[in-house]
Chains A and B, each alone.
Chain A
Amino acid sequence: MKFKSLTLVAAFAAVSLGATLGVTAAKAQAKEQFFPVLVYRTGAYAPNGVPFANGYVDYLKYINARGGLNGVKLTFEECDTGYATDKGVECYERLKGKGATLFHPLSTGITFALTDKVLADKIPLITAGYGRSDTADGMAFRWNFPLLGTYWTAADVLVQHIAKKEGGADKLKGKKIALVYHDSPYGREPIALLQERSKLHGFDLSLLPVAHPGVEQKATWLQIRQSRPDYIFLWGWGVMNSAALKEAVATGYPRDKMYGVWWAGAEPDVKDVGVNAKGYNALALQHGAEKDSKIVKDILALVHGKGQGTGPKEEVGEVLYMRGLISAMLGVEGVRAAQERYGKGKVMDGEQVRWGLENLNLDQKKLDTLGFQGVMRPISTSCADHMGSSWARLHTWDGSKWGFSSDWYQADDQIIRPMVRASADKYMVEKKLQRRTSADCQ
């Protein structure tokens, strides 16, 4: 046999292995704050992952174009997780070694896996609008920041909206609500809250899981055809959302009785269905498509105008692009808050960034200067409250674009707080951890 070629192959393998073992942690250079970017530009969820990633990276470029963060340049590196938990953990390990001081895992499954790891690595984990709902309890989860809302607040707002539509929470009794969900930690997360609410109001909750990636939903919609629920909550991601809408069209289920979570309410979800999806509602994580906002115009001028844009120019300002933008902004503002305490123009470490995120205070004035007026409401976090804000509203697809269709809602703390507390306590016991003391909050 060709022994020579074999030796070559072996030598190549040995060299690459050696290179892997010898990778030394490249420390962040002076005056450079490293932002890891966990994204998925490939795989089944890429249509939704790409606009998010573009918005995220564009914001970092935008900050650099404006001279960095008090003079500190932001550097970043992407790692493609493909929405797979094991790959996400690998990406985390890879970018952690390069001096990462905060992570956006962009997947609830990855968040679950990383929650344990950040504890030892001392790196804050920002999960804006996703992740573990119980991590809103900052006294238990020191390093997790589910900023702007969790799936429990999302589900709560949806129930409130429906109660209002029906003319009062007591009218929910006997109503049938079906949750069509992505069968992953993401989709299962709201179940606990919906069960709690169904006990409270006496509505009938049926759970209809859809397996990854969500293209095959015939069986689910057969059940819906039979049971005819009054409302459907759609907890899908990626291709699952448009598949669900197409099935709804085929089944003849009224789209205006369907309510998606904020990850099921963007352009890629409805574009394929187009006019047929008219009337479909989804939560907005405060913002919708914001093409007229100041920040979008600034980015078009300073980033895309200079040929530095990450994605197609037309998609700037779409829903998921804005989500990425806001996520990046929250991280950057966390670092800025940390700088204000630990020294402006310095490079922050994980512990300092955590302090900054915990003491985030974006009031209306601050949002105006950042260019986010009208895009989101003020948010402020504290030691005990790592979520900062649970405001949300709904938007509706009119066949060609998303438009807001409801007032602002706030999740009901009376219901959510005890649940968060109980779940966090259970986690503490399982992991044999202690709650933080108030002295730790300084």
Chain B
Amino acid sequence: MLYRENGQFKTSYTADQQIFPIAQDRYLIGALVAAAFVIVPLIASEYALRALLIPFLILSLAALGLNILVGYCGQISLGTGGFMAVGAYSAYNLFVRIDGMPAVLAILLGGVFAMAFGVLFGIPSLRIKGLYLAVATLAAQFFCDWAFLRIKWLTNDSSSGSVSVPDLVVAGWTVNSPIDKYLFCLIFVVVFGVMAKNLVRGHTGREWMAIRDMDVAASVIGIRPVFAKLSAFAVSSFIVGVAGALWGFVHLGSWEPAAFNINRSFDLLFMVIIGGLGSIMGSFFGAAFIVMVPIVLDNLPNWFGIPIDTALASHLAFMIFGSLIVFFLIVEPHGLARLWSIGKEKLRLWPFPH
């Protein structure tokens, strides 16, 4: 009843081709973004901002980047943590070694370095596919782990491989309070989200999807696999690299290579799979699920005032989280984003299903 596009007539191509052709979607997303910018900073506690929302935003950005590669172009990657590390450490080196380097530029250039690195490790994808490619990208992960631990120059000769950065200053705005950090990340996420959405519904995205669905057929109709695959690696690693730089600069402040280890890669891949492959929305759902659910579960006994042993509480959190993953994958193998669109379909007919 509420969610029905009756009476919404498209009278021009522009109207028909907009990102959200249905008015309700436009309003909903608009309201969500507005709420994220205005209401959340007003009501969220410092803990919620620092422990939940900022990690959620940055990891959804990374998941978005990975989703372009895995979900849209069909190239499985286990090197995401490594690409994030390249973004973070190159941004750090640029920031520390070049005097007067603006923070935003350093973060974006971190993304550029990650992009170059991603393209380099994307080259094998021209010959190998599927799980074999996943194993090849694993090399990127282990290479990064090794490089940032052992090459002292990359960490500015710090004694234990840990690096740290000062508070960011962007055009007179010092990003140090949790709200500042949250808004700073939110701006990045919104800008990159819109760009990614437009990319995947344009001809580049269609090329990626064609390659994903069947690369032989795609090349027969004139899509260059080299260009499509490498551009997917480039765009994906750029976004992942920026997310990595944000993770280091904004969320952690000081970090060590372990912040971007193989577990990070797995986490991000799970986010994309649970959220929904080939869906921008799914990246956000997946990130929310993986970041927030364990923390919420861990906190539950406390909020309800149930006295429970610390060890038992964290074991329970692990078990419930694990069963939730299984539950969602059984209910909807195509991810949370698919549940979302099923929900919308139902709403179109509600309350008079036929």
Contacts and interface: CB of A to CB of B under 8 A. Distances in A.
Interface in A176-231: 183-185, 188-189, 191-192, 209, 212
A97 B303 CA distance: 14
Contacts of A21: 40, 43-45, 48
A385 to B, nearest CB: 20
Contacts of A41: 309-311, 314
A112 B159 contact: no
A423 interface: yes
A86 B259 contact: yes
A80 B311 contact: yes
B281 to A, nearest CB: 14
A20 B252 contact: no
Nearest to B300: A16
Interface in A423-440: 423, 427, 430-433
B346 interface: yes
B256 A185 contact: yes
A113 B314 contact: no
A129 B331 CA distance: 50
B166 A431 contact: yes
Nearest to B302: A77
B322 to A, nearest CB: 14
Interface stretch (B69-77, B125-133, B217-225, B291-299): B291-299
A46 B296 CA distance: 22
A299 interface: no
A20 B310 contact: no
A22 B346 contact: no
Contacts of A192: 159-160
B24 interface: no
A339 interface: no
Contacts of A120: 176
A183 B161 CA distance: 10
A105 B165 CA distance: 21
Nearest to A43: B314
B52 A20 contact: yes
Contacts of A184: 256, 258
A22 B96 contact: no
Contacts of B343: 3, 6
B313 interface: yes
Nearest to B295: A90
A416 interface: no
B346 A112 contact: no
Interface in B126-170: 149, 156, 159-166
A42 interface: yes
B306 interface: no
Size bracket, chain B contacts: 35 or more
Interface string B252-272: 111110110000000000000
Interface in A43-88: 46, 50, 53, 77-80, 82, 85-86
Contact of B51 (A80, A89, A115): A89
Interface in B188-205: none
B258 A188 contact: no
A116 interface: yes
A93 B43 CA distance: 17
B45 A42 contact: no
Contacts, number: 126
Contacts of B212: none
B204 to A, nearest CB: 34
Nearest to A78: B310
Contact of B164 (A42, A108, A423, A431): A431
A25 interface: yes
B51 A93 contact: yes
B173 interface: no
A97 B46 CA distance: 8
A401 interface: no
Interface string A113-133: 101110010000000000001
Nearest to A191: B159
A149 interface: no
B334 interface: no
Interface string B283-327: 000000000100110111011000001110111000000000000
B45 A116 contact: no
Contact of B45 (A3, A16, A25): A25
A414 interface: no
Given A94-B299, A430-B164, A431-B166, A113 B46 contact: no
B342 interface: yes
A311 B339 CA distance: 46
Contacts of A3: 343, 346
Given A6-B339, A20-B296, A112-B254, A185 B311 contact: no
Interface in A264-312: none
A50 B314 CA distance: 14
Nearest to B313: A80
A3 B331 CA distance: 11
A309 B256 CA distance: 37
A335 interface: no
Contact of A116 (B253, B302, B311): B253
A17 interface: yes
A23 B45 CA distance: 7
23 contacts: A6-B331, A6-B343, A21-B45, A41-B310, A42-B311, A50-B311, A77-B302, A80-B313, A89-B51, A94-B299, A96-B46, A112-B160, A116-B164, A116-B253, A116-B254, A133-B159, A134-B159, A184-B256, A188-B160, A191-B160, A192-B160, A430-B165, A430-B166
Given A77-B302, A82-B314, A113-B255, 15 more contacts: A3-B346, A6-B331, A6-B339, A6-B343, A20-B52, A23-B45, A42-B311, A42-B315, A80-B313, A80-B314, A116-B164, A189-B159, A212-B258, A430-B164, A431-B165
Which 6 residue pairs are nearest across A and B when measured between Cβ atoms?
A: A41-B311, A188-B160, A116-B253, A192-B159, A78-B310, A185-B160
